């Protein structure tokens, strides 16, 4: 099977209703979507991604109005966050309603819910009588896809259709927030920052796991890695090997040939950098370097935290030290 790529929302709806797994665009990264109530389709998502069964999926819903159908005992601050940031790159982990299968949550009593901010996917969700269980549409452990082409290159043989919504506008996965004794806890950094969350709901904890997390084992270090080893260094470190790539935030490495480098944002804009990050890593990964170097963003605050988080997870060192 070779996936067809297109913009036919009706076709996407038909295939999903028929139990197929297809790729859908979101503002963060592309998702590998299935009818959340169809256990065979959900099992196929795990199979196609080669994702371990203990790593739960995010359920994508059409709008805030649907939250009570799928989650219960919702803390008021969760509702406030949903009102402030949905549709958008925020995932809320909440106690699940019985209607959500344990196959989707990997046996957990909680479900991760998100309303994606992408017009095609919102229109698809609004015409479907079921929500979409969808992890990022990459093989487990690799970098998430931010274009239809990225999906096609890796999963084109495994799915019938890729709904092409253009390049992802945010470029990194959603911020994940759960609640422990009604206190918000950030489990994964994203473009929505801890500061933004605190502004809405006050006291917020951060528990971003840098190693295996029994609550959500998917948030492993090696979750976002290219095949070529990525090392974190800085612009002052001498690099003599000519066969290396460099992923630069805004300033290229002075010793590495410009054609071996990708600059994420010449103006140093973190949003532009996030948008370009995964395509840049993929490009460098395909250039047959003996390794890739990068440096962390110096000002590790706001949105830069999420970019540095992804760089650390993608790097070889953190992978071996997990
Ligand atoms: O931006 C995104 O969130 C993208 C797009 C497609 O929506 N999705 C995405 O899904 O990044 P995925 O499967 O690659 O990452 C979802 C993360 C996993 O690390 C998983 O462990 C965590 O969400 N997760 C899912 N359900 C959970 C739950 N009930 N409790 C804690 N963590 C959960
Ligand atoms: Mg993923």
pLDDT digits (tens, 9 = 90+) for 80-134: 999 999 999 999 999 999 999 999 999 999 999 999 999 999 999 999 999 999 9
CB-based pocket (< 6 A), ligand 1? 26, 28-29, 31, 55-58, 89, 91, 93, 105, 108, 110-112, 114, 116, 134-136, 173-174, 176, 187, 215-216, 218-219
In this structure, which ligand is nearest to the CA of 223? 2
Q: Say how many Å lie between the CA of residue 189 and the centre of ligand 1.
A: 12
Q: Please give the distance, rounded to the nearest whole angstrom, from the Cα atom of residue 261 to the centre of ligand 1.
A: 31
Strand partners, 322: none
CA distance 96 to 73: 9
Residue 247, SS3?
A: strand
Q: Kindly report the protein residue whose alpha carbon is nearest to atom 19 of ligand 1.
A: 218
57 CA from centroid of ligand 1 (Å): 5
pLDDT for 213 beyond 90: no
> Which atom of ligand 1 lies at the shortest distance from residue 112's CA?
26
Confidence of residue 210 (pLDDT cuts 50, 70, 90): low
Structure tokens at 196: 């933004």
- For 54, 254, 275, 318, the CA distances from 168, given in Å and listed in that order, are 27, 30, 7, 27
Q: Would you say residue 296 has pLDDT above 50?
A: yes
Strand order across the beta sheet in which 291-294 lies: 230-232, 291-294, 244-248, 261-263
pLDDT of residue 61: 98
Question: Above 60 in pLDDT, residue 197?
Answer: yes
Burial (CB count within 10 angstroms: exposed 0-12, middle 13-18, buried 19+), residue 313: buried
* Whole-prediction pTM: 0.95
pLDDT at residue 317, as a whole number: 62
Site to probe by mutation for ligand 1, drawn from 135, 141, 154, 171 as the one with most ligand atoms within 8 Å of Cβ, is 135
Q: Strands 244-248 and 291-294: what pairing?
A: parallel
| Distance, CA of 174 to CA of 309 (rounded, Å) | 13
Contact 170/74 with Cβ under 8 angstroms? no
Mean per-residue pLDDT of the chain: 93
46 pLDDT above the threshold of 60: yes
Is 212's pLDDT higher than 80? no
Is the Cβ–Cβ distance between 320 and 210 less than 8 Å?
no
Strand segments (E) across the chain = 4-6, 22-24, 31-35, 58-60, 90-95, 110-114, 132-133, 161-163, 175-180, 183-188, 205-206, 230-232, 244-248, 261-263, 291-294
């Amino acid at each position: 099977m070779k996936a067809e790529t297109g913009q036919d929302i009706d076709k996407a709806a038909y295939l999903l209703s028929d139990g197929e797994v297809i790729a859908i665009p979101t503002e963060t990264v592309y998702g590998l979507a299935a009818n959340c109530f169809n256990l065979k389709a959900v099992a196929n998502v795990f199979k196609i991604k080669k994702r371990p069964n203990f790593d739960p999926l995010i359920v994508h819903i059409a709008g805030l109005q649907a939250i009570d159908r799928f989650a219960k005992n919702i803390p008021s601050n969760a509702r406030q966050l949903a009102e402030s940031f949905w549709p958008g790159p925020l995932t809320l982990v909440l106690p699940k309603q019985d209607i959500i299968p344990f196959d989707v949550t990997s046996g957990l009593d909680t479900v991760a819910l998100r309303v994606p901010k992408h017009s095609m996917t919102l229109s698809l969700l609004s015409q479907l009588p079921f929500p979409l269980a969808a992890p990022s549409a990459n093989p487990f452990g690799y970098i998430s896809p931010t274009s239809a082409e990225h999906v096609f290159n890796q999963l084109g043989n495994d799915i019938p259709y890729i709904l092409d919504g253009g390049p992802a506008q945010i470029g990194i996965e959603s911020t994940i927030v759960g609640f422990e004794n009604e206190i918000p806890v950030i489990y994964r950094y994203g473009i929505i920052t801890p500061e933004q969350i605190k502004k809405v709901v006050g006291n917020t904890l951060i528990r971003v796991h840098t190693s295996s997390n029994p609550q959500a084992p998917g948030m492993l270090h090696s979750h976002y890695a290219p095949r070529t080893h990525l090392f974190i260094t800085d612009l002052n470190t001498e690099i003599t090997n000519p066969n290396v790539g460099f992923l630069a935030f805004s300033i290229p490495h002075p010793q590495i040939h410009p054609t071996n480098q990708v600059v994420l944002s010449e103006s140093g804009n973190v949003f532009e950098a996030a948008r370009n990050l995964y395509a840049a890593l993929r490009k460098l990964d395909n250039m047959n370097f003996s390794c890739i170097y990068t440096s962390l963003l110096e000002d590790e605050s706001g949105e830069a935290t999420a970019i540095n988080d992804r760089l650390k997870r993608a790097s070889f060192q953190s992978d071996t030290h997990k």
